């Protein structure tokens, strides 16, 4: 059996999100009809000129995120499968939906033009740089500052009718990542028998009750068409749903923004000065000795002559005259 890059998850009911469970992702009805054909991104092939990337899970997961962003926020985005395939540790046997979903939730995504997959690219080049460059990891972190992502499994087992009911309900909130067996066709519809094990990952984007399921693939059905019709009784092995929301940004007043900007500028300048300032060993400090000032001498007072009293006899009395002589 050829593997196109799907590795089944071993669902841990205590750890993984399950639809309807205690740790499920928020359920938001975005398209009540469950038909997502009007929101599909431009198709991209996981195999170019014979170079197989085994990255169907990355292609499907990013297509799903792009569809949700278009429907919910009117944003047309194209993210890099190379980045997601590398940081989620996709290999020559592919990857699991849980591993890829967790890489998006924890490491974010990067614009496709920064790490594109183009004709003539080798397998080795597709999976480079590895380890991922810091600049791209920062881009992914910046994306996560704007968006919050959650995901959950719709079912871990069950009969076809139970799965059909959950798929129809899940499609109201977004396209669904599903595992399939690629590919056997009869009467214009793809089918799967009990003996066939899932080896591929695609998006479920619509349905006609009792007639067909519509999936969006990373392989062409015909030139220019990535859509495939599956038999209504198709038994999908697993299905995963995503939820995405923009994070709330605290609005600052103009003055608070100015103060915050000045703080960052001062901090940056301080760090720059600290880096450029040469380190100078401090010189020993010599004790400061104050000179002893002589006490001021008082000026010598002039010697006063002694007072002399003169007795002057007059006719009726004696007059005493004192003075300096």
Q: Please report the pLDDT score of residue 325 as a whole number.
A: 40
Parse the chain into domains and list their residue ranges.
37-246
Spatial distance between the Cα atoms of 88 and 91, rounded to a whole number of angstroms: 9
Sign of torsion over alpha carbons 228, 229, 235, 236: positive
Q: Please report the pLDDT score of residue 258 as a whole number.
A: 77
Q: Please report the pLDDT score of residue 3 as a whole number.
A: 81
Spatial distance between the Cα atoms of 133 and 115, rounded to a whole number of angstroms: 11
Spatial distance between the Cα atoms of 263 and 267, rounded to a whole number of angstroms: 6
Q: Is 111 left (phi over 0), alpha (psi -120 to 50) or beta?
A: beta
Q: Please report the pLDDT score of residue 257 as a whole number.
A: 65
Going through 136-246 in order, the beta strands assigned E by DSSP cover 147-155, 176-180, 185-186, 189-190, 200-208, 212-216, 227-231, 239-246
Per-residue pLDDT of the chain (325 residues; tens, 9 = 90+): 788 899 988 766 445 554 544 346 899 999 999 999 999 999 999 999 999 999 999 999 999 999 999 999 999 999 999 999 999 999 999 999 999 999 999 999 999 999 999 999 999 999 999 999 999 999 999 999 999 999 999 987 789 999 999 999 999 999 999 999 999 999 999 999 999 999 999 999 999 999 999 999 999 877 678 999 999 999 999 999 999 999 986 544 566 567 667 757 776 676 666 555 554 555 655 555 555 555 655 555 555 555 544 444 444 444 444 444 4
Q: Please report the pLDDT score of residue 185 as a whole number.
A: 94
CB count within 10 Å of CB 218 equals: 26
Check: CB of residue 66 under 8 Å from CB of residue 78. yes
Going through the chain in order, the beta strands assigned E by DSSP cover 47-48, 51-52, 147-155, 176-180, 185-186, 189-190, 200-208, 212-216, 227-231, 239-246, 307-313, 318-324
Spatial distance between the Cα atoms of 83 and 69, rounded to a whole number of angstroms: 19
The topology (CATH level 3) of 37-246 is Cathepsin B; Chain A (3.90.70)
Tokens for 77, please give them.
Answer: 């985005």
Q: Is 17 left (phi over 0), alpha (psi -120 to 50) or beta?
A: beta
Q: Please report the pLDDT score of residue 262 as a whole number.
A: 77
**Angle of helix 97-107 relative to helix 134-144, nearest 10 degrees?**
80
Spatial distance between the Cα atoms of 99 and 5, rounded to a whole number of angstroms: 13
């Amino acid at each position: 059996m050829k593997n196109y890059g799907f590795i089944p998850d071993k669902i841990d009911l205590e750890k993984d999100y399950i639809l309807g469970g205690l740790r499920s992702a928020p359920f938001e009805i975005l398209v009540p009809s469950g038909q997502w054909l009007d929101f599909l991104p431009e198709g991209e092939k996981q195999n170019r000129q014979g170079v197989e990337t085994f990255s169907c899970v990355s292609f499907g997961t990013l297509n799903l995120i792009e569809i949700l962003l278009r429907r919910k926020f009117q944003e047309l985005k194209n993210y890099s499968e190379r980045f997601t395939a590398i940081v989620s540790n996709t290999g020559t046997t592919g990857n699991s939906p849980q591993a890829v979903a967790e890489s998006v939730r924890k490491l974010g995504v990067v614009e496709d033009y920064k790490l594109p997959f183009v004709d003539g690219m080798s397998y080795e080049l597709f999976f480079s740089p590895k380890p991922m460059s810091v600049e791209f990891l920062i881009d992914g972190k910046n994306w996560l500052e704007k968006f919050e992502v959650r995901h959950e499994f719709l079912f871990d087992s069950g009969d076809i009718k139970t799965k059909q009911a959950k798929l129809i309900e899940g499609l109201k909130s977004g396209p669904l990542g599903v595992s399939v067996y690629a590919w056997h066709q009869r009467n214009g519809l793809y089918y799967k028998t009990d003996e066939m094990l899932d080896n591929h990952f695609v998006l479920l984007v619509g349905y006609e009750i009792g007639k067909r399921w519509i999936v969006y693939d990373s392989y062409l059905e015909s030139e220019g068409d990535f859509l495939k019709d599956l038999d209504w009784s198709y038994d999908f092995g697993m299905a995963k749903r995503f939820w995405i929301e923009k994070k709330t940004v605290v609005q600052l007043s103009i003055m608070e923004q100015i103060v915050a900007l000045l703080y960052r500028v001062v901090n940056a300048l301080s760090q720059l000065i600290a880096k450029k300032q040469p380190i100078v060993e401090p010189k020993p400090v010599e004790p400061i000795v104050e000179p002893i000032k002589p006490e001021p001498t008082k000026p010598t007072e002039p010697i006063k002559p002694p007072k002399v009293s003169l007795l002057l006899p007059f006719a009726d009395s004696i007059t005493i005259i004192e003075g300096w002589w």
